[in-house]
Structure 1
């Protein structure tokens, strides 16, 4: 089993820091290259750059009443990438990159998702 994971390209798990403006303040986010790549894919679907996508996600979290610190926001982005890939595998988000995420019915996409990961 480990061979499947250990054989990954080391560049995928190297981290990279990017500076972004969130909530009017310049901040740095450190994520592994794999997550930056998935964020690029998600943003591209809706014609957004990574900074635009991350800003939109940040703003929507604030609007939803989430209290954020930037450590948790980086974790939120990692989980968002994982959920995106998981929902694609489940057939809830089309793999066709020409279909914008904004065009999807969020209630339908999330209808088959488990509500909690709590043990």
Structure 2
């Protein structure tokens, strides 16, 4: 089991910083490359750039919670939640039935 994790390409867990503008303020986020890749995928699915997605997530969490204690951790958890829902089996009981 551990081979799956141990044999991961080290570039995936190498950290990279990116500067972006959130609410008009330039800020720097440092995340592992794997998380940047997942954020890029989420952004593409939603028809946005990665920076647009991150700014939107920041706005939404601020609207919902009123503060962001650790935004980098929030983004990591968002990525894992995205992967979990993406791989979750479809519950056929909640899908609308087609006539015919």
Q: TM-score, normalised to structure 1's length? A: 0.72
CA positional deviation for 1:25: 1.0
Deviation, structure 1 residue 3: 1.6
Matched with 1:51 is 51
Deviations 1:53-75 (A, max 9, x none): 00000011111133124xx1000
Instruction: State the partner residue of 1:12.
Output: 12
Corresponding residue for residue 40 of structure 2: 40
Higher percent of residues as helix = 2
Provide the residue aligned with 2:81 in structure 1: 83
Gaps of 5+ in 2: 95-100
Q: Pick the aligned partner of 2:72 from 67, 71, 74.
A: 74
Aligned to 2:60: 60
What's the Cα RMSD here? 1.4
* Partner-residue secondary structure (3-state), 1:64: helix
Q: Look at both structures and tell me which one has the larger radius of gyration over its CA atoms.
A: 2
Residues 27-50 of structure 1: CA deviation (Å, up to 9, x unaligned): 100000000000000000111000
Q: Which structure 1 residue ranges, 5 or more long, are not aligned?
A: 93-107, 109-119
Distance 1:17 1:33 in 2: 9
Which contiguous aligned blocks of 4+ residues in structure 1 show a shift greater than 4 angstroms? none
